[in-house]
Amino acid sequence: MIEPDLRDRILAEPESLLEDPDVMNALVAANERAMGSNIVDLRGIAMQRLETRLERLEDTHRSVIAAAYENLAGTNQIHRALLQMLDPISFEDFLTTLAGTVATTLRVDSTRLVIESRHSGESAALRRLGDVLYVAEPGFTARYASDHREAPLRAVTLRPVTAAGEQLYGARAPQIRSEALLRLDFGQGRLPGMLVFGAEDPYQFRPSQGTDLLAFFAGVFERSMRRWLA
């Protein structure tokens, strides 16, 4: 028999039992045992299936909400970096900001701006502007992004760092494990360029990730570069 005090509490607040899934599962199991093994409780089976479906829906709901928050956080991060990038009033300050506050906001460990050049005099002048610049021969960005393979070039490529990364990262190459390659169009009559973000985390940039935000960042960045290169 149920203790009188416990019985009175259940009768006073029966909804507390209904809200406790463990108690309800125990009551249902006790009811099934009382009916015997030769009786199939179709209602109980249906309820179990509904519970399983509800759990899957709740998991999906949580995943969608988490993805939405992550996407919003990523959007805000890109917007902050773009605003920081628009502040400098000289090209040298622009490069300093790119390697400093912008890299910090985007949480990357290395930033390299690759500019292709046909003229050695222009290359020497650009190299004096800082370590963030990498001046390369024509065709370098396409070869680096494709890893010397014949494959369609994408606007944004996310991947583990290849052996060719030593060219860009120099002494830091062993520490940089993943990278994002943002191809840049500097306008008609100019050679293309590439913005490279490197990360020590091997999983920060993966081919399975979305690239919409980085593609937007590249679009704004290349338009800003056209102004400096004009």
Is this prediction's pTM over 0.85?
no
Q: What pLDDT score does 214 carry?
A: 92
The predicted structure's pLDDT at residue 17: 74
| CA distances in angstroms from 198 to 34, 86, 116, 195, 208, listed in the order given | 65, 22, 19, 10, 17
Q: Diameter of the chain by CA atoms?
A: 97
- Say yes or no to pLDDT of 14 above 80: no
Q: What angle do CA 219, 150, 217 make, to 5 degrees?
A: 10
pLDDT, average across residues 126-144: 81
pLDDT band at 38 (very low <50, low <70, confident <90, very high): low
- What average pLDDT does this structure show over 120-138? 69
Q: How far is CA 7 from the centre of its chain?
A: 54
In tens, the pLDDT along 67-90 reads 677 777 888 889 999 999 888 888
pLDDT of amino acid 20: 78
**Token pair 């222009």: residue:** 122
- Residue 138 confidence (pLDDT) above 80: yes
Rounded Cα–Cα distance for residues 133 and 195 (Å): 10
Report whether 85 contacts 221 (CB < 8 A). yes
Concatenated DSSP letters for 153-172?
Answer: --SEEEEE--TTHHHHHGGG
pLDDT level of residue 37 (50, 70, 90 thresholds)? low
Question: What is the average pLDDT score of the chain?
Answer: 82
What structural domains does the chain harbor?
83-229 (3.30.450.40)
3-state SS record for 105-139? HHCCCEEEEEEECCCHHHHHHHHCCCCCEEEECCC
